Amino acid sequence: MKYPESFSSKLPKVKTSIFTVMSKMAADHDALNLSQGFPDFPVAEELVKKVSEYIAKGFNQYAPSPGLPQLRAGIAEKTERLYGNYYNPGTEVTVTAGATEAIFCAITAMIREDDEVIMFTPAYDCYAPTVELCNGKPVFVPLHAPDYKIDWDEVKKLITRRTRMIIVNTPHNPTGTILTADDIEQLERITKDNDIVIVSDEVYQHIIFDGENHQSMARYPELARRSFVVGSFGKTFHATGWKVGYCLAPENLTAELRKVHQYVTFAVNHPVQRALADYIQTPENYLHIAEMYREKRDYFVDALRGSRFKTVKSKGSYYQLLNYSEITDEPDTEFAERLTKEFKVAAIPISVFYNNPVQEHMLRFCFAKEKETLAKAAEILHKL
């Protein structure tokens, strides 16, 4: 069956997500999947038990659309404890079906035709298509290896009367870099005397290493008042399949986000929300994970010493970039495919996260894996 010829796609350039492509390739070729960002170790037994208990108790119908009041209160308390900023649970905290839904709702609520949205590439792949669905215009600022620092002078040049939004991501996927205090100062200057809103993708906020502080927009009053701050319980508690995230924003911005949210998802998994509301009452349940992932990062990087891959240690997230320029000149998409099919290790090519592909011979590896998985992958990578 074929749709009438008059049909035209609203997203003609969008193809199947690279994460889907590489995970399928890994499965088809029985390769270790270090491509898609999901852990291969279990969710905490206590948290799983709580979900089961709430299911058994009958909490299986719709939750309130903005999220359970007790979970929203817990998110507000957690945020104030960490960043010193209070968000009203009733009017400024919304539980969403994963962080991607929060990002989608924030962009859709704010962006009108011909509005410009500045984003930094390599960028997570949901940002630009959502802007385009709203008939907005993505404006790309490229970042480059090895440090992927933002050139704020370049950003200033791109600000126009049509600039409506800036999307930032820290810790950054796919590079594992983080925003610094200097970056925050520059962002404050750029947005000081205008109506630009910020979408801050902070899903890896609890996975940051080496004594660095997470530079949340929630820390800074002038940025917080114009920001949608997006978090993820899936990333924090190794439960990506549960798809529970949240968004913090001032009351007027939250009201607009919820107008979209109610027609996209309406409400999020009820028993999981109840379990999370209980679980986050103990801060150690989320504060310990940075150390756990630091150990995994160091184990993986140390296991690669002596190989022909070059590394700059990830500063946050559970991704590690590896430069393979001493191995081959192949484009990263081709090398990633060959690595999966011939050597049985799947990774993500970085060039796909640019609007104009940049070849810096980088692959992204997910180290949210058991040590046995990382050891096996490193053993294979040493052979190249």
Q: List, for residues 10-63, the tens digit of each pLDDT value.
A: 898 888 888 888 899 999 999 999 998 889 999 999 999 999 999 999 999 999
| β-pair partners for 140 | 119
DSSP secondary structure string for all residues of 88-144: -TTTSEEEESHHHHHHHHHHHHH--TT-EEEEEES--TTHHHHHHHTT-EEEEEE--
CATH class of the structural domain 45-283: alpha beta
Please report where in the chains the tokens 């992204």 appear, as a residue. 364
Helix (H) or strand (E) holding 163: strand 163-169
Q: How far is Cα 290 from Cα 204, in angstroms, rounded to an integer? A: 10
Q: For the chain, where do the domains classified as CATH 3.40.640.10 start and end?
A: 45-283
Token code pair at residue 247: 């968004």
What pLDDT, on the 0 to 100 scale, is given for residue 5?
Answer: 66
Distances (CA, A) of 316 to 92, 178, 286, 381: 27, 6, 15, 23
Q: How far is Cα 65 from Cα 96, in angstroms, rounded to an integer? A: 9
Q: Would the pLDDT of 75 be above 80?
A: yes
Neighbours of 178 (CB within 10 A): 22
Q: pLDDT-derived band of residue 2, with 50, 70 and 90 as boundaries?
A: low
Q: How far is Cα 252 from Cα 258, in angstroms, rounded to an integer? A: 10
Over residues 290-304, the mean pLDDT reads: 98
Q: How far is Cα 215 from Cα 180, in angstroms, rounded to an integer? A: 7
Apex 180 CA angle, 323 and 119, nearest 5: 70
Quick check: 346 and 339 in contact, CB under 8 A? Answer: yes
Q: For the chain, where do the domains classified as CATH 3.90.1150.10 start and end?
A: 18-41+288-381
Helix (H) or strand (E) holding 176: none
What pLDDT, on the 0 to 100 scale, is given for residue 358?
Answer: 83
Q: How far is Cα 341 from Cα 336, in angstroms, rounded to an integer? A: 9
Helix (H) or strand (E) holding 59: none
What pLDDT, on the 0 to 100 scale, is given for residue 16?
Answer: 86
Q: How far is Cα 79 from Cα 248, in angstroms, rounded to an integer? A: 9
CATH code matching the domain that covers 18-41+288-381, chosen among 3.40.50.2020, 3.30.70.980, 3.80.10.10, 3.90.1150.10: 3.90.1150.10
Angle between helices 251-264 and 98-110 (to 10 degrees): 110
Mean pLDDT of the chain: 96
What pLDDT, on the 0 to 100 scale, is given for residue 1?
Answer: 60
User: Whose CA is closest to 316, among 234, 205, 220, 232?
Assistant: 205
What helix, strand, coil percent values describe the chain, rounded to 5?
A: 40, 15, 45
Q: Is 35 left (phi over 0), alpha (psi -120 to 50) or beta?
A: alpha
DSSP 240: G
What pLDDT, on the 0 to 100 scale, is given for residue 143?
Answer: 96
Q: How far is Cα 195 from Cα 373, in angstroms, rounded to an integer? A: 47
Quick check: 88 and 251 in contact, CB under 8 A? Answer: yes
Quick: pLDDT tens for 306-364. Answer: 999 999 999 999 999 999 999 999 999 999 999 999 999 999 999 999 998 888 999 99
Burial (0-12, 13-18, 19+ Cβ within 10 Å), 278: middle
Q: Would the pLDDT of 7 be above 90?
A: no
Quick check: 208 and 171 in contact, CB under 8 A? Answer: yes
Amino acid letter, residue 72: R
Quick: pLDDT tens for 177-217. Answer: 999 999 999 999 999 999 999 999 999 999 999 999 999 99
How many Å is the maximal CA-CA distance in the chain? 58
What pLDDT, on the 0 to 100 scale, is given for residue 3?
Answer: 63
